[in-house]
A and B are shown apart, each in its own frame.
Chain A
Amino acid sequence: MIKLFIRYLNLIVITIFTLIFLSFLLPFMFPGDLLSNISGIVPQTNEQRLALEHAYKLDQSIFHQFGFYIESLLNGNWGVSLADQATLYNEVRIAFPATLELVCYALVVSIVIGIPVGFMSGLKNHNPIDFSVVTFSMVGYSFPVFWLALIFITIFCLQLEWLPISGRVDLLFDIPVDTGFLIIDIARSSIENKHQAYMDALQHSILPTASVAIVTTALFVRFTRRSIMDVMNKDYIVAAKSRGFTQSQIFFKHGLKNALLPILPILALQISTLITNVMIIETIFSWPGIGRWLIQAIYQQDYPAIRIGMLVVSLFVMSMTITIEFITRAIDPARERAESAAL
């Protein structure tokens, strides 16, 4: 167990290091002036240029530069945006929680709906309910997210005018950004009508969440359904039936865990798809998250921002994936042996 933990810790450290190294190399590959790509400042005079080069250790060897880069990353000294000279650390600190919030909403919806529905349909396979669930999930995960979002906007915002079209919360509510998570921020703010603010935030989040969650839910349904169908045909389920256990006893004690364990890593891989979808959705609904921020950055060719944004998002996805893999490995007794035998 400890050995396993160390192995995964090792993996995480190496991955983080690789990602940081890659992001360190990026400014060298971006077009334009290396100095402004790194610092986010376009030097006006020659003296200023020399001073900046000295500050970013560009006059020293590449190892010093890398060391300086890691140091400033750890210090929270992430540089400034090329476009508007905003401090990147602050920008990311505001934008990233917004993305995370949307990811969480979508994940919660997908898990709460997708997994039970998948189980239900897999247990009762080949009946009308199962058939409609399969059809729904097939259609659901064939939707291009951006189109779905546009259709939702057309129907619910433009035609019916039920829901707001963009943003996280109405600007009338003056909510100071503190943690970046709106739910917590509203709770900690000093505005009077918190209840209304919550309702407003909820209305704003329905459409973005729905657009992302439909695709993810459909995927979850498919994976769970397949998995439980496979497990229910296993010998040990037949053996459990022969021992006269009740259906629910068989499902909860033997079916559930065995069906969920193999799909956990697959579901973890979907986080990457989920993040991509969330980033697209953010641009459509003007959700002030990191995806919209990154895409704005690319329109403005704001290279320091792209570098930091890319680093933050990939670090997040990577550590999530590895952590879930570690958890699966840790709680699955059979897998540990199979994997160590292969290595």
Chain B
Amino acid sequence: MQRFNLYQEEYHPSPLVNIWLEFRRSHIALSGFVLLVLFLIITVFAPLLAPYSPELQNTNAILLPPSWEPNGTIAHLLGTDGLGRDVFSRLLYACRTTFGSSLVIVAISVFIGVGVGALAGVLSGLRSSIVNHLFDSIMSIPTLLIAIVMVAILGTGLFNAMMAITLALIPQFVHQTRTYVRNELQKDYVLLDRLDGASSRRIFIFSILPGMVELIVVQATIALSVAIIDISALGFLSLGAQEPTIELGASLSLALDVAYVAPWLIILPGMCIFLMILSINVVGEGLRSALRNRLHH
């Protein structure tokens, strides 16, 4: 950044740049962001990064401890599991499944949630009341319960778990969008648009949506961490991803049988989930305080 400024004019960054500048001021938020980017890279490039195939069973090295332990080898960085598969490679693939599917879930929920929320915000009278109460009710049903019902109907599997979690995540976006749209519709700039003859759809897309993006992004970070927890929890309960799909929660439950002899098989996947959620929460918190600071000044 330039240090000297010849001109009196102040530098007025655009809102997005401003958020980034505010965000960057917090070192913790920034390190969370770096970690998140790392997970994103793993998600995209897992096959390139993994030293072994996750299915490859090395029968000569079963339950090998991580390489820093006395009898670990550098060939298997984080050791091997009960079938002699390389833990590091499996972790990369598992991160990929968990993080990737969570991203997809959140993207779909945002898309549907904002759409329905906008509709509910514009609607009035009985119809809006029905839509609102319906979604508010779904919001308070525990995710696991929805997942159990979905699994009971459709059977286990990653895709069904994803559907259940999407269903559970949508209402909060609906709720938030609806409240925001409701509030904005009362404001004068919307009235001005309306007097100019703009349709409700046009008002939503061009006047309300741009102001809402930040809000949605922050909400999406929360949803992302919830999605990761839920996906891995369902995997852990063997209601989600099934073999041969490799998923963090599922790997954790597989490791339960050998927990006595190989505690690292429990520690490592859990650590991955924890770090993933932590990084997202840190970034989300950083974004929120950046937004708050921007509005404050």
Query: CB atoms of A and B under 8 A apart anywhere in the complex?
Result: yes
A-side interface residues toward B, CB under 8 Å?
11, 14-15, 18, 26, 29-31, 138-139, 141-147, 150-151, 154, 158, 268-269, 271-273, 275-276, 279-280, 283, 291, 294-295, 298-299, 301, 303, 306, 310, 313-314, 317-318, 321, 342
A298 and B260 form a contact (CB under 8 A)? no
Closest residue to A230 on the B side, CB-wise? B292
A-B contact pairs, 14 of them (CB 8 A): A14-B133, A29-B153, A147-B273, A150-B259, A158-B259, A271-B140, A276-B143, A280-B237, A283-B237, A291-B144, A306-B152, A314-B145, A317-B141, A317-B142
B270 in complex: contacting residue of A139, A141, A151, A313, CB < 8 Å: A151
A294 contacts across to B, CB distance below 8 A:
145, 148
Most buried by A among B149, B233, B278, B285: B149
Q: Which of A26, A158, A275 is B149 in contact with, Cβ under 8 Å?
A: A26
Kindly list chain A residues whose C-beta atoms are within 8 Å of the C-beta of B144: 275-276, 279-280, 291
Q: Contacts of A138 on B, CB cut-off 8 Å?
A: 278, 281-282, 285
Q: CB-CB < 8 A to A145: which residues of B?
A: 229, 233
Q: Does B24 contact A (CB under 8 A)?
A: no
Tell me, rounded to whole Å, the shortest Cβ–Cβ distance linking A145 to chain B: 7
Query: Distance in Å from the Cβ of B287 to the closest Cβ of chain A?
Result: 14
Contact yes or no, A273 B277, CB < 8 A: no
A138, A144, A150, A313 interface centre (most CB from chain B within 10 Å): A144
Instruction: Give the Cβ gap from B203 to chain A, nearest Cβ, in Å.
Output: 19
Contact across chains for B137 and A318 when beta carbons are under 8 A apart: yes
Asked whether A275 lies within 8 Å of B263 as measured between CB atoms, the reply is: no
- Given contacts A146-B252, A147-B274, A313-B142, could you give 7 more A-B pairs where the C-beta distance is less than 8 Å? A142-B225, A144-B270, A145-B229, A150-B266, A276-B142, A280-B237, A306-B148
Q: Contact check: which of A143, A269, A314 meets B274 at CB < 8 Å?
A: A143
Taking a contact as CB atoms closer than 8 A, the residue among B139, B152, B266 that contacts A30 in the complex is: B152
Which of B139, B140, B237, B274 has most A Cβ within 10 Å?
B140
Tell me the count of chain B residues lying within 8 A, CB to CB, of chain A: 41
Among B217-235, those with CB < 8 Å from A are 225, 229-230, 232-233
Q: Mark B98-118, 1 if CB is under 8 A from A, else 0.
A: 000000000000000000000
B residues 248-294 touching A (CB-CB < 8 Å): 249, 252, 256, 259-260, 263, 266-267, 270, 273-274, 277-278, 281-282, 285
Contact B142 A150 (CB under 8 A): no
Question: Within the complex, which residue of B140, B153, B155, B267 is in contact with A272, where a contact is CB–CB below 8 Å?
Answer: B140
Residues of B within 8 A of A146 (CB): 232-233, 236, 249, 252
Which residues of B are in contact with A by a Cβ distance under 8 Å? 133, 137, 139-145, 148-149, 151-153, 155, 182, 225, 229-230, 232-233, 236-239, 249, 252, 256, 259-260, 263, 266-267, 270, 273-274, 277-278, 281-282, 285
Residue of B whose beta carbon sits closest to that of A322: B140
Q: What residues of chain B lie closer than 8 Å to A144, measured between beta carbons?
A: 229, 232-233, 249, 270, 273-274, 277
The 8 A-B pairs at the shortest CB distance, nearest first, are namely: A147-B270, A142-B278, A321-B140, A276-B142, A276-B144, A142-B277, A275-B142, A272-B142
Given the complex of chains A and B, what is the CA–CA distance between A141 and B233 in angstroms?
A: 15
**A29 vs B152: C-alpha distance when bound (angstroms):** 9
> Cβ of B229: which chain A residues have Cβ within 8 Å of it?
144-145
CB of B141 within 8 A of CB of A298, answer no
For the complex, give the distance between the alpha carbons of A295 and B236 in Å: 12
B137 & A15 in contact (Cβ 8 Å cutoff):
yes
Do B236 and A303 touch across chains, with their CB atoms under 8 A apart?
Answer: no
Chain A hits for B140, CB < 8 A: 268-269, 271-272, 317-318, 321
| Chain A residues positioned under 8 Å from B263 (CB to CB) | 154
Residues from chain B with Cβ under 8 Å of A299 in the complex: 238
A139, B152: Cβ atoms under 8 Å? no
Complex Cα–Cα for A295 and B252 (A): 17
Cross-chain contact A342 with B270 (CB below 8 angstroms): no
Q: How far is the CA of A151 from the CA of B233 in the complex (A)?
A: 15
Q: Which among A268, A276, A291, A313 has the highest number of chain B CB atoms within 10 Å?
A: A276
CB-defined contacts of B232 to chain A, threshold 8 Å? 144, 146
Nearest residue (CB) in B for A23 is B149
CA distance A276 to B232 in the complex (A): 13
CB distance from B271 to the nearest CB of A (A): 8
CB nearest to A222 among chain B residues: B285
Q: Which of A11, A26, A301, A310 contacts B133 (CB 8 A)?
A: A11
Cα-based distance from A167 to B270 in the complex (angstroms): 24
Residue A158 contacts which of B151, B260, B281 (CB distance < 8 angstroms)?
B260
Given contacts A276-B144, A317-B140, contact A150 B252 (CB under 8 A): yes
The CA of A301 and the CA of B153, in the complex, are separated in Å by 10
Kindly report which residue of chain A lies nearest to residue B228, judged by CB atoms: A144
A29 to B249, CA, bound (A): 28
| CB nearest to B276 among chain A residues | A142
Which chain A residues lie closer than 8 Å to B270 at the CB level? Answer: 144, 147, 150-151
Interface contact B278-A139, CB-CB below 8 Å: yes
The residue in chain A whose Cβ has the minimal distance to the Cβ of B256 is: A150
Q: Is the CB of A273 within 8 A of B142?
A: yes
Question: Which residues of A have CB within 8 Å of B149?
Answer: 26, 306, 310
- Whole-angstrom distance between the alpha carbons of A154 and B239 in the complex? 24
> How far is it, in angstroms, between the C-alpha of A242 and the C-alpha of B281 when the chains are bound?
38
Kindly state the separation between the CA atoms of A138 and B284 in the bound complex, as whole angstroms. 11
A212 CB to nearest B CB, Å = 13
Instruction: Judge whether B274 and A313 touch: CB under 8 Å.
Output: no
Q: Which chain B residue has the least Cβ–Cβ distance from A268? A: B140
What's the least CB distance linking B293 to chain A, in Å? 13
**Can you name the residue of chain A whose Cβ is closest to the Cβ of B234?**
A280
How many angstroms from the CA of A303 to the CA of B151 in the assembled complex?
A: 11
Would you call A310 and B145 a contact (CB within 8 A)?
yes
